[in-house]
Amino acid sequence: MLISRQTAAKPLRRAILCSLIVAMASGYSLSATARGTLRIGYQKSSTLITLLKHQGTLEQALGQDDVDITWHEFPSGLPLLEALNVGNVDISADVADTVPIFAQAAKARLTYFAEESPSPSAQAIVVRSDSAIRQLSDLRGKKVAVTKAAGTHYLLIAALNKAGLSFGDIQPAYLSPADGRAAFENNKVDAWVTWEPFLTRVQRQLPTRTLTDGVGLASYKRYYLTSTGYAQAHPGVLKRVYQQLRQAGGWIKSHPRDAAQVLGPLWGNLDADTVEAANARRSYQVEPVKADQLGEQQKIADAFFKAGLLPAPVDAKDVDIWTP
């Protein structure tokens, strides 16, 4: 039986067409299930994120949504939010309440997506036990180590104001926590304003005296932020992160010793007693952010502007807020 070329070509065309359909369907399937990546920026003092990173629970939770995680450590909150603003990370682990104010002043469009309730005793101004500085007013003309834009920066301003001094009455030494500790230990500065776990560590390892903590001066909330674009595009990811943060905070408070034993090696081999004491000063209570509760953020912004540390006034409520 003779088969014409045209007749013979029909099955071949059908086979090619079927192959193309299969290839297109396969390509679509691969595209639809392509894994995403969440880039998380954090600091050494970002307790809950550090815990989730160590335990792998956040990877497991986001793995259900085909999302991988990369981790990026920063020395302090300000460079962390700068990285967030330019798109180098997707979300920021907790930063002190002052840091978003500086980001707003730099015209960053950031979104709050969670907060830790106040922990005013988790930061303090310390001097050496043999220092002649006995009260806040004695800081006039003295060199004080502080991390720029950290929560302790605002605590220092508030404490000076309470003593009838201005920020211009001292000599600020803007140092990272590690460099601040070294300067304090080696008598290069007269006082150091720091936060947990650096605070409990220095109090236990060196003879110090505390001039004041934040009680009555600075409530010290810590905020979790993301870019506005990421919040709009990935609300499901933020919901997973929020849930995991709440669970981690609850676990630390209900298992303080276990948490201390886990976190100690991650915090430069701190002993468990020091870590447990440091964590006792933090609330670790993760909550939604509410616009009508940003009053202290405005106080912080106004204090920094009055001290000449912000280029222009900041409206603390001019932010985007994601809620679970």
Measured CA to CA, the distance from residue 92 to residue 146 in angstroms comes to 22
Residue-level pLDDT at 109: 84
Which residue type is seen at 19? S
Measured CA to CA, the distance from residue 316 to residue 13 in angstroms comes to 66
pLDDT per position as a tens digit, 120-137 = 999 999 999 999 999 999
pLDDT per position as a tens digit, 45-80 = 899 999 999 999 999 999 999 999 999 999 888 899
Cα angle 64, 248, 240; round to 5: 30
- Of the chain, the percentage scoring pLDDT greater than 90 comes to 84
For 229-250, b/e burial (b = at least 16 CB within 10 A) is ebbeebeebbebbbebbbebbe
Q: Class of 36-118+221-321 per CATH?
A: alpha beta
How, if at all, do strands 191-195 and 91-96 pair? unpaired
Residue 215 — φ and ψ, nearest 5°? -60, 125
320 contacts: CB under 8 Å, gap ≥ 6: 109, 110, 111, 112, 228, 231
pLDDT per position as a tens digit, 77-119 = 889 999 999 999 999 999 999 999 999 999 888 899 999 999 9
pLDDT per position as a tens digit, 207-243 = 999 999 999 999 999 999 999 899 999 999 999 999 9
Evaluate whether 36-118+221-321 and 120-213 have a shared fold.
yes
How, if at all, do strands 110-116 and 222-227 pair? antiparallel
Tokens 């508030």, residue located:
158
pLDDT per position as a tens digit, 183-208 = 999 999 999 999 999 999 999 999 99
Which residue type is seen at 280? A
Stated pTM of the model:
0.85
CATH homologous superfamily of 120-213 equals Periplasmic binding protein-like II (3.40.190.10)
Measured CA to CA, the distance from residue 158 to residue 117 in angstroms comes to 19
Domain spans, the chain: 36-118+221-321, 120-213
Cα 248 → chain centroid:
15
pLDDT band at 310 (very low <50, low <70, confident <90, very high): very high
pLDDT band at 44 (very low <50, low <70, confident <90, very high): confident
Residue-level pLDDT at 324: 87
Both tokens assigned to 288: 């939604």
Question: Region 141-167: what's the mean pLDDT?
Answer: 96
Taking Cα atoms as reference points, which of 48, 74, 78, 43 lies closest to residue 283? 48
Residue-level pLDDT at 20: 37
Which residue type is seen at 118? P
Tell me the average pLDDT of the chain.
Answer: 89
pLDDT band at 3 (very low <50, low <70, confident <90, very high): very low
- Point out which residues pair with 287 in neighbouring strands: 115
- Of the chain, the percentage scoring pLDDT greater than 70 comes to 90
